[in-house]
Structure 1
Amino acid sequence: MSGDLYDVIVVGAGPAGSYTAYKLSSQGCKVAVLEQKKAPGVDICCTGIVSPGCFDSFGVNPEVILNKARAAKLFSPSGKWLRLEKQEIQAYIVDRASFDQAIADKAMAEGADYFLSLPATDIIIDSDGVQVETPRLKFKAKAVVIAAGFKPAFTRKLGLGSVDHFAMGAQTVVEVQGIDEVEIYFGQEMAPGFFGWLVPILNGKALAGVLATSHAKFYLEKLLASHFCQGKVIRQEAEVRQGAIPMGILPRTYGDRLLVVGDAAGQVKTTTGGGIYFGNLGSKAAVEVLSEALDTGNLGAKQLSRYQKAWKAKMGREIYLGYLARRLYQKLSDGQIERIFDIVSSNGIAGTLLDSPSFSFDWQGKLILAFMKSIWNYLPDKISSIFRREIDSININGRQGA
């Protein structure tokens, strides 16, 4: 048994968990962070692509940035490509291990205690407080924040439900030649329901990965052997990392003495699977609600339910629109994807959307609606009619949740 009584235990030392710990500790809370891995950010499946604004919000040293991007090439199943470019830098590619460690260092500098290689195995909550059990120690606190990534069995056990839809990601490091921009590959035969990528980092290296509905490692191997990578990928430099990414919102992200943030809550861009930015927004909402609850001593579910209302009001509609776009894409054949590439290339749609005031790396909802409206006349009636009804429903009801 750990001898200390903490104000808050944070389970998970990813960006969402460590940022939560940092903000709470900076306000004088006694915080413990439990991380199952040997260090934050190691052995994960993530490209580490964030917008400059998102990166700046964490306040970490720019030395963790591996590369910057203002353009990307999008490839159709047959190999046709479309280059998208902005004058301003649109994204940073960060080294996730260094990035995550930098946020953890900020939390520790404010007094947070970190316990590594120590997974939470059970969480017991009663009127007296919270007990988090691990293989070696038990920790007691007034409240707990779950930020341990996508673990549906864990949230189900706590009575919070689970996210039923998810994607599988697989990624490795490869040596490359002749590639200096992000490349995204589309095709249901190559990455069912999603896409593959090559993201240049440093010294002739790139991150190669696939997001798919299942069997991501198989499709990554298929991508590396495909025409997309011929003449570009020289050799694989690291083992393949895999992970599951939620494609929807956890039914409940709060309970007595309990909040859930980040991927664990479904705070993820359902277009790309990226969770750093939305997880950061979730962390900020959690800290605001939890700080007030700790001050008043009211840590009941009714009080903490304000957290779910707050973060859903901020990003729930964005998550739903991304999910809607994802459902549309999953219904398309490779031939229909080719047709969309032809339409976008010949009609100037890409340039119009890129120059639109609604274009945003982090907030994609308005862009999704604009894109869908611009192409639905070219889609099969059976598909386009479904999404016309969905969009009409959104416009009428202002839907906020997935």
Structure 2
Amino acid sequence: MQTGSAKLPSQFYDVIVVGAGPAGNYAAGELASLGHKVAVLEQKETPDIGICCTGIISPECFDSFGVTPEVILTRANSAKFFSPSGKSFRLKTEKVQAYVVDSAYFNLAIAARAKAQGATYFLSSRVSDVAIKKDEVQIEALCLRQKELFKTRAVILATGFKPELTQSLGMGKIKHFLIGAQAVVKTKSIDEIEVYFSQEVAPGFFAWLVPISADKALAGVISPYHAGLYLKKFLASSFCQGKVVGDEAEIRQKVIPLGTLPRTYGDRVLVIGDAAGQVKPTTGGGIYFGHLGAKIATEVLGDALNTDDLTAARLSCYQRQWRTKIGREIRLGYWVRQAYARLNDRQVERIFNFLDSGGVTKALLNSPNFFFDWHSRLILAGLKYSLVHPLRKIWYLLSREAGS
């Protein structure tokens, strides 16, 4: 992969992708494979540096990226969920529900595939300005401490949660966000994904231990604030006693958007991935939704390039399509997260007691609506189930207790 150089940006591109995350890399590769001249501008030295992602994705999502299975660390068909008091229940299926991938190598593999398809990469290239002109887009970037000007017919912003560029282009900003913190830890007796619900160690969200080998796991917390401090609190809590035996790496943190960007298209520009808010509010995961957004973006932009119509009116169908695909999922997930965030540990414990004693988890696990990537289907199935089963109590709890 190339780094910035005074001579390199003199070329005129069909598309420049800003950001070399999974969504940006995938979009770059797909557009390059269609014969378009594509460049990727990435501020990091390599796409695998400083990634903060648990890397849990469904087999279907993994397969659609077209990378080799060597990046898969473990396969999961079960998980344990812990209440504030330590009460737990386990969900298990016969079929593998998720892969845990090495996020750094996974992203690097997608970038390598994009390069093989014809995309050019400019690393250590930090974009400072995007200017939409009548016949082109001009992008200013600091490449290896030297200012460069790139020109392109269209641009895709895949920058993650960095609102400066979208605001400067009149697309607004995502107002709410969470912070994710994660570290690699040494463990014993951890052989499946464990999720912990406690407002003491993960206010408004949850904490996790995800095994990545026989004696290592990813420990993480998502919280609206001070996620790094809460991760340390989680690791020192009774939840981790006898399980976590030592830290191995530094704590990495990431901003997670909560809600969607008001406008994800404009003249000669599309926004995808975390930058667009294509993230699951229930888990903070962005790989799958970002991938769906990237797929739709490449289809819309590919057609627009071929007809040389890159107006906002032409590109507006991108936003309609991706919101039709995942908009309801995001809205319903946002409601569930907001309701949960208002509960205290006593109320969370009551919900766990009900789930543990009512046979609800087994019923929903066996439901045809159980899909790893589509949480709203399970939520709506739960609502429907509650009409004929005591599960209505849990929704009563969520609605009543959240308002108290």
2:185 equivalent to 1:174: yes
Preserved contact between residue 6 and residue 141 of structure 1 (Cα < 8 Å): yes
Q: What secondary structure is seen at the aligned counterpart in 2 of 1:311? A: helix
Find the counterpart in structure 1 of residue 275 from structure 2. Answer: 264
Preserved contact between residue 130 and residue 165 of structure 2 (Cα < 8 Å): no
Find the counterpart in structure 1 of residue 353 from structure 2. Answer: 342
**Offset from partner CA, 1:114-156 (integer Å, 9 cap, x none):** 0111111110111021011111321100000000101122211
Find the counterpart in structure 2 of residue 3 from structure 1. Answer: 10
Find the counterpart in structure 2 of residue 383 from structure 1. Answer: 399
Q: What secondary structure is seen at the aligned counterpart in 2 of 1:263? A: helix
Task: Give % identity.
Answer: 58
Q: Which among 51, 54, 58 is matched to residue 47 of structure 1?
A: 54
Aligned letter for 1:54? C
**Offset from partner CA, 1:171-190 (integer Å, 9 cap, x none):** 00000011111000001111
Please give the TM-score of this superposition, normalised by the length of structure 1. 0.94
**Offset from partner CA, 1:314-341 (integer Å, 9 cap, x none):** 0000011110110110111110100000
User: What is the Cα-based RMSD across aligned positions, in Å?
Assistant: 1.5
Q: Which among 163, 178, 185 is matched to residue 174 of structure 2?
A: 163
Find the counterpart in structure 1 of residue 284 from structure 2. Answer: 273
Please give the TM-score of this superposition, normalised by the length of structure 2. 0.93
Kindly state the Cα deviation for residue 42 of structure 1 after the two structures are TM-superposed.
Answer: 2.1
Find the counterpart in structure 2 of residue 394 from structure 1. Answer: none
2:79 equivalent to 1:72: yes
Kindly state the Cα deviation for residue 386 of structure 1 after the two structures are TM-superposed.
Answer: 8.4
**Offset from partner CA, 1:270-329 (integer Å, 9 cap, x none):** 100101111111011101110111111110101000100010110000011110110110
CA distance in 2, matches of 1:261, 1:233: 37
CA distance in 1, matches of 2:22, 2:398: 41
Find the counterpart in structure 2 of residue 61 from structure 1. Answer: 68
2:68 equivalent to 1:26: no
Tell which deviates more after alignment, 38-47 or 319-328.
38-47
Q: Aligned in 2, Cα 1:62/1:20: closer, same or farther, shift over 3 Å? A: same
Find the counterpart in structure 1 of residue 212 from structure 2. Answer: 201
Q: Aligned in 2, Cα 1:139/1:326: closer, same or farther, shift over 3 Å? A: same
CA distance in 1, matches of 2:164, 2:138: 18
2:232 equivalent to 1:216: no
Q: Aligned in 2, Cα 1:345/1:276: closer, same or farther, shift over 3 Å? A: same
Q: What secondary structure is seen at the aligned counterpart in 1 of 2:127? A: coil
Preserved contact between residue 22 and residue 112 of structure 1 (Cα < 8 Å): yes
Find the counterpart in structure 2 of residue 231 from structure 1. Answer: 242
Q: What secondary structure is seen at the aligned counterpart in 1 of 2:238? A: coil
In structure 1, the gaps of 5 or more residues are 388-402
In structure 2, the gaps of 5 or more residues are 1-5
Find the counterpart in structure 2 of residue 247 from structure 1. Answer: 258
Q: How does 1:317-328 map to 2 (within 5 A)?
A: 317-328=328-339
Aligned letter for 1:319? I
Find the counterpart in structure 1 of residue 117 from structure 2. Answer: 110
